[in-house]
Structure formats: structure tokens, C-alpha cells
Structure 1
Amino acid sequence: MRKVVISEFMDEAAIADELADFDTLYDPGLVDRPAALAAALAGADALIVRNRTQVRGALLDAARELKVVGRLGVGLDNIDVAACRDRGIAVYPATGANDGAVAEYVVATALLLLRGAYGATPRVAAGTWPRTALMGREIGGKRLGLLGFGAIARETARRAAALGMTVAAHDPFLAPGDPAWTPPSGPVARRDLDALIAGSDVLSLHVPLTDATSGLIGADALARMPPGAVLINAARGGIVDAAAVAASLRAGHLGGAALDVFDREPLDAEAGAVFTDVPNLILTPHIAGVTRESNVRVSAVTARAVRRHLTER
């Protein structure tokens, strides 16, 4: 019987529906027990992971029978794709299954950070009435810049346009004549990187972590953003200099920021100290693409891809 190891959380109904015919080990704590994970992979035909399991080096060496890796998400920076290809191991990301969840996160955090009124509960309950201090900004008419214009960014653009935002994007890999630039929700302006950074009231990142994008949004880029602009990163932590974001918020140049991803995950107290008492900052635990609904979709797509690969080959 084919063996499947699942090292991070997924929807258990998808396991029951798609992987019932396999010898399946579902232990979402394996990601934090490397020795146990390596032992579990002895003789395993398939491995299903999210973003924390590092499918490379010693882990791949321990999985000599591995035939397929299912990725509960779309980013592949935790998987040595080249090494998998060399060994004939197929890699299946859950393309498209969490696009809407990330798009909603981007738009919701932009609304929250621009308006700025939603942290007032303790003060209002205590009898203060800080109306003038909480006079925020509307999202309608604001300029949304999308760094990268793949599927998630396009879903974000559609939602933003419905709220009256103007939308621009930078994506050097998308041809000028591609129909993605003229969706039914309205045209998306094509910008070079510097123009996008300098002309966005809300800048949202939608690129993978590569040598070219590592550290792309640092102190210099933040300084070129308009005063009061909002930065949202639900892509990968290494794209942004988190300390520079904290410094810009403290200095009052950035008007807000939402960071869902970090260089090191989970973020520990030492690394998180840079964010202490930083104003108008939202930190979330790599959750932008994970909702109850998207977890069901991502899990089903991934489990189905793994089952198909193991049964059709």
C-alpha cells in the first residue's frame, strides 16, 4: 500500500475523501520534530506540507522512495524544486485555491489601516470619546499598487476596483498586451517599479522570494512611498526589511502596515521586539491565505493531486 505523510495541518475530511486507500500518517506536529519526520518518510511515497516543512537536503535524503510532494498553498520556496525534479519527484502546489482568501485579507487590512478607528473599544468603553483623533481615511479614490500581477493580485484588483480604488501593477513577466491588464472590473495601469512605489497609497506585495526580490522593500523604497501610505505584505517575509517598516511607522512616514509573513516563522520574541509599540501596525501569523473555506479547497486540491499521481503512475 502506498504511504502518504502529512506534516502540517489540513482539512481532515479531504484526507478521508481522497486518501482513504493509502497508508496515511497525518501528524501536523511533525514539522516541529525533524527526526520523527525523517523517520516517518522512510518508505513514504508522498509528502504533503504547507510552508514550514523544508523539503530539501537531509529531509529529501531520508525520503528515498518519495514520488510526489503536495503543497498546501502556492509558494514553493520551502521546497527544493530542482532537487525534486532531478529525482523525478513531482511537486503539486494548490494553485488558485486560496486566491480569494488572500485578496480579502489585503483589502480588509487596507480598509482597517486607512480608517484607523477600530482599536478604540477600550477607550470608548472607559468613557472617552476620541472622535477627532480617529478621523481616518476612505479607501475610495485611493491608489492601489500591486507588486506582481499574478492570480492573487488580480483577485485583489477586482475587489479593490469595486470599492472605488484605482489600480496599478508592476510585473515584468506579463506582456503589455496581456488581457489581464484590461479585466472587466476596469483597466489596471502598467507601471515600472519606481513609479509604482512612488504612486501608491496602498502597496501590496504579490511576488515570490527570489534573489531579485529579497530585501526589495527596504528603507530606500519605503522613503519613496507617499507620506501616509500603507504597506501590506502577505507574500514572503524576506521581501521586506521589517525593521525599516517599524522605523518608518515610528517616524510617521508610513501611515500603516500589515505584515503576515516574516523571515523566521514562527516569529519569536527576540525577532518580534522590533515591533514593540509601533503605531498602526497589524501582525498576523502567515494566515492571509488560510480561512475555513480556503483550507477545505486547498486540502481537497492537494490531496486529489497526490492521489491522482500515485494511482495513475
Structure 2
Amino acid sequence: MGTTDTLARADLRVLVCEKIADAGVAHLSGLFSVDLGLDWSKEELADRIADYDAIVVRSATKVTADLIARADRLKVVGRAGTGVDNVDVPAATRRGIVVCNAAGSNALSAAEHAIALMLSQARNIPQAHSSLVQGRWERSKFGGIEVTGKTLGVVGFGRIGQMVAERAKGLGMNVIAYDPLVAEGRYRELGVDKAETPADLYAVSDFITLHLASTPETRNFVSTEAFAAMKKGARLINAARGDVVDTDALVAALESGHLGGAGIDVFPTEPTTESPLFGLPGVVVTPHLGASTEEAQDRAGVVVAEQVAAALTGGVVTSAVNIPALGPEALAVLGPFLPLARQLGQLVTVLAGGVAPLEISYEGDLATLDTRILTSAVLAGVLHGRIDEAVNVVNAASLAAERGIEWSEITIPRARDYTNRLSLRAGDVSLSGTTVGTTSRPRLVSAFGQDIDIELAPHIGLFRYLDIPGQIGRVGTILGLANVNIASMAVSRSRAEGGAVMAVTVDSPVPEETVREIANVDGFAQVWFAALDVE
């Protein structure tokens, strides 16, 4: 929660554009001058926005770059919900405007809805209700199964997944979960078995519930191959994001009888009023109701009101989604390293194959400053695209701690070879980076303890291999035949051990079969390709 231990500021004006909880409006009204613009047109909002220091919206109001440009006094945009898709965050950030949301306000409602879908699906409750109100008494047709003693597989073990697991344990279910970014200790605390791979989870689960974020990596995560790995008769629950499931593959698995049923709350395109899932036996569907409870909506209104108040009164804004302000001196040193920190966090997670205790080292001038924002950027990279919540430098540390991720920080006042250097170590994976040039371009300068020099790019590959003639040519040939263009390459050799590290940046994603082909080249020990969030 934000803190607002300051006197009321009637000179500050807040505009509430959409209906939020009365308690939220009351909280703001006790501190500031509040206007309700619930029925304002887009044109009226544009004409009057310059009069306000803060604006509170839900999903209907679009806070565009044009609107922000007109908002001369605006200091904060509050979104009474968990997303900020209707806010131009980069435009707000450029103007120094804090954008905050009501992160986590709907987690409990979403978890309960997943459980409700599972129970409704197991007992055919919607179908039985529809039949009975249509005048048919069909007891034998709608027999179901018990969930007690069954195994629930949770794919995505963040806040919502953990809430679902706790409630399933209360129903007497066995629970197994897959999430490479949750530490072993968290599984043990909750009495949940850890699956090393999704296939391991699919093989033993009677019910599978999804709690994944929608990212390029998770789209169609549950595919034909995934359904084939599931137990015959398993049932799928999806109250996360519609595009994490291949709908055609799901329909095929249901129609073939391989799946016993499904409970679906989300769809690839919404609103959806037609789907091949509608009417299939054993399928329960709802129109994205996961967050649609009175409590969640009230909670979102109160939380965002507290966050807006904190932003206006100098308090701590715990759910800001853009980078908080830095002092000019610290910004000059730390600011250029924020993209590098996030990208190294993403890369070390790919190379380490999941989460491991993380050691973060700061060398040079970095070591003399408060580097917590860089640590948060590293953790945001570690979590990026892998959890069911939006992650940024403000909330990354708390989300990582929630998942049991451990990290430590080391400061070294004198940097080796570079004025400033940021290094990460996770298990036997180590990476170092710095920034160069007037535009502070992020560069990888060490990998696995060997010096290397390459600019980080959206698509990057790293290989460990035996240093024998022809290896570079083999990689180039394989990528060329796959129509993947190499943008840059760097190689580092260890003469003592005969091993080498190669880094390549490419212009496009590398197909999985191409990755496997490189990994099968004689002498190649490890091959990784990563997609980095390079802004």
C-alpha cells in the first residue's frame, strides 16, 4: 500500500473518470479536490484535463499520448485494475508522470474462479442446471467425478497459482506445479510437488489449471504436443489468458475423447460469442469473469486511490508501472545501466535454465551508489514474461521474494577493465556487461568467466563448444540454411581447457529445429538462444 501521512492538499485536483468503489472516492476526497467525470465525452476530457493533477480510470478511458500532451499539471495516472493497456505508459514516463495500478487486487477472485470452474466442470453443474430449467430430469446423464484424492497440476506458480494450490489442498487434492522461477523452498512451504518440466506435470495430473502471462513465449503454450502428453481423461482449466492455449488443438483433444473436459474463462479474442468450444460435452465456459466480483472491484478502487494519494503526497507508490524518478547525479550513472540490468537478468535466466540463487556484482562508480533500482531491474528481467503479473522495477523485488528467489549483492569499488561493470552469477552461469558510447549501448563483456565483446540485441545466441577448426563456419552454415541472418559474432577461447564461448546476434528468431541442429554439431556442449526485451 502507499503511504499518505501528510496534510490534505485541497489545491491538488483529482479527476475520477469511471466508477470505482465509494471508499476509494472517499479516500481521495478526504485529501484532495475531487471531480467525477463519469459521463464526460472524449472531447470534454481533452478540453478539461489540463486542470487536474491526477486522473483515475478503469478500462474504458484511453489515456493517450495526445491526452497526456494536454495535461500540463498531470502528475499521476491511476488505473483501477491490474493492467495498463489503455494508458500510453512511455508517453507518461517521458513527462515524468507516475502510472500506477491496483496490482494483485483481483488475485483472490481469479483463484476462486479457477476452483469454481474445476468443480463446475467435474460435476457438470451448468449443463445440469440448463437441462433442469428446460423441464428435463436427467440425473444419469450428468454424473460427475470427485476431486478429493485427484491430482491438480498448476502451470504457473505465481501469486494466483499458489492461491489455487492452497485451496485445492483444502479440498483434499494432491498438487503438483511447474514454474522454473519459483524456488524449491516455496514448493515445500505449500506442500506442493515440483515438476521439472510441463510434460512431467501433464503425465500425472487429473486436472490442469493454467496461470501464465501472455507473452510470445507462452502463446499456444498448451499445444497438440502438450495435450498428447496429458493423461487420458484429464481436464483443463484456463482462467489466465486465452492465447496460452491452442484452441484448435483443445477442440481436437476434446472431440477425440483424450481430454475429459475443460473449464474456460478466457479466449484469444474477446469479447467472444462464437467458439468451437461452445456446446461441446464436458466443457464449461464463462465470459472472462475471473476478476468480476464485488470484492475485487471494490478492492481495485481502494488500492488505486491509495496509490494515487501516495504519488501526490510524496509517499511510496508500490504499484507504479514506470521507472521512478532518480536524482540527477545518480541518474547520470545508474540510468544507462537499467536496460543492461534487465537484459542480463533475462539472459542469465535462460542460460541457467530457471531460477537459482543470484549473485549481483557492481564494480566501479556503480559500487558507490544506491543500486537497489538496478537490482530491481535485474529481477524484472529474471521474471519478465514468465509470471502471471506485470513486472517492473518497482514491484520486481517483492514478486521475486514472493517466489522464494534468493539474491545477494556485492560491491567492488574498482572495476576491472571498465569504468563500470555489472555481473551476474546463477549456479555455474556467469555474465558481465557494461555500456559504451554516447548512447550507452548495452554490451556483454564476459560469459562463463571468459572475456567476450558483443552488443546485446533482441535475438542473441550463446554457445559453449570444443575449440576445433571449422566450428564458426558450421554455425554460420546452419543459420544461413535456415534463412537466419547473423548480425554480429564474437568468440572467446580458453587455451588452457580447449573450450570456447561464441556469441551471435541474429535478425530474427531461430527455429527450434535449427537450435537442435547446432546442438548436435560435434564438440558443442551447450547451445542457447534468447529473446531479449531490448527497448
Task: Find out whether 1:187 has 2:192 as its counterpart.
Answer: yes
Match of residue 104 from structure 1:
112
Stretch moving more, 46-55 or 89-98: 46-55
Which runs of structure 2 are paired with 1:1-313 in the superposition (5 Å)?
1-19=11-29, 21-27=32-38, 41-42=49-50, 44-50=52-58, 60=68, 65-76=73-84, 79=87, 81=89, 84-121=92-129, 123-124=131-132, 128-176=136-184, 179-183=185-189, 185-265=190-270, 267-269=271-273, 272-312=274-314
TM-score normalized with structure 1 length? 0.81
Structure 2: distance between partners of 1:136 and 1:103: 22
Structure 1: distance between partners of 2:224 and 2:19: 36
Q: Which deviations, in whole Å up to 9, do the C-alpha atoms of 1:73-117 show, x marking residues without a partner?
A: 334555555554444332323233322211111111101101224
Structure 2: distance between partners of 1:50 and 1:233: 24
Identity over aligned pairs, percent:
38
3-state SS, counterpart of residue 109 of structure 2: helix
Structure 2: distance between partners of 1:5 and 1:243: 45
For 1:193, the aligned partner's letter is P
Structure 2: distance between partners of 1:223 and 1:79: 40
Gaps of 5+ in 1: none
Q: CA offset at residue 227 of structure 1?
A: 2.5
3-state SS, counterpart of residue 274 of structure 1: coil
Structure 1: distance between partners of 2:225 and 2:44: 44
For 2:170, the aligned partner's letter is A
3-state SS, counterpart of residue 161 of structure 1: helix
Q: Which deviations, in whole Å up to 9, do the C-alpha atoms of 1:226-248 show, x marking residues without a partner?
A: 23222222222222233433443
Match of residue 469 from structure 2:
none
Q: CA offset at residue 306 of structure 1?
A: 0.7
Q: Which deviations, in whole Å up to 9, do the C-alpha atoms of 1:154-205 show, x marking residues without a partner?
A: 11111000101111222222233xx32123x523424322322343222222
Q: Which deviations, in whole Å up to 9, do the C-alpha atoms of 1:23-79 show, x marking residues without a partner?
A: 43342x77xx76666556455433434456665655655656543232333345555
Q: Which deviations, in whole Å up to 9, do the C-alpha atoms of 1:267-301 show, x marking residues without a partner?
A: 144xx243442333333232212311222222111
3-state SS, counterpart of residue 119 of structure 1: helix
3-state SS, counterpart of residue 141 of structure 1: coil
Gaps of 5+ in 2: 1-10, 316-535
Stretch moving more, 212-221 or 138-147: 212-221
Structure 2: distance between partners of 1:58 and 1:228: 53
> Which one has a bigger Cα radius of gyration?
2
| Pairwise CA RMSD | 3.1
Structure 2: distance between partners of 1:59 and 1:225: 49
TM-score normalized with structure 2 length? 0.50
Structure 2: distance between partners of 1:115 and 1:174: 32
Structure 1: distance between partners of 2:54 and 2:78: 8
- Contact preservation (8 Å) 2:28, 2:34: no
For 2:54, the aligned partner's letter is A
Return closer, same or farther for 1:81/1:131 CA change in 2, 3 Å cut-off: same
Count of residues in Structure 1 that have an aligned counterpart in Structure 2: 304
Q: Which deviations, in whole Å up to 9, do the C-alpha atoms of 1:101-155 show, x marking residues without a partner?
A: 1111111110110122452245446665433322211111222122211111111
For 1:22, the aligned partner's letter is S
For 1:213, the aligned partner's letter is T
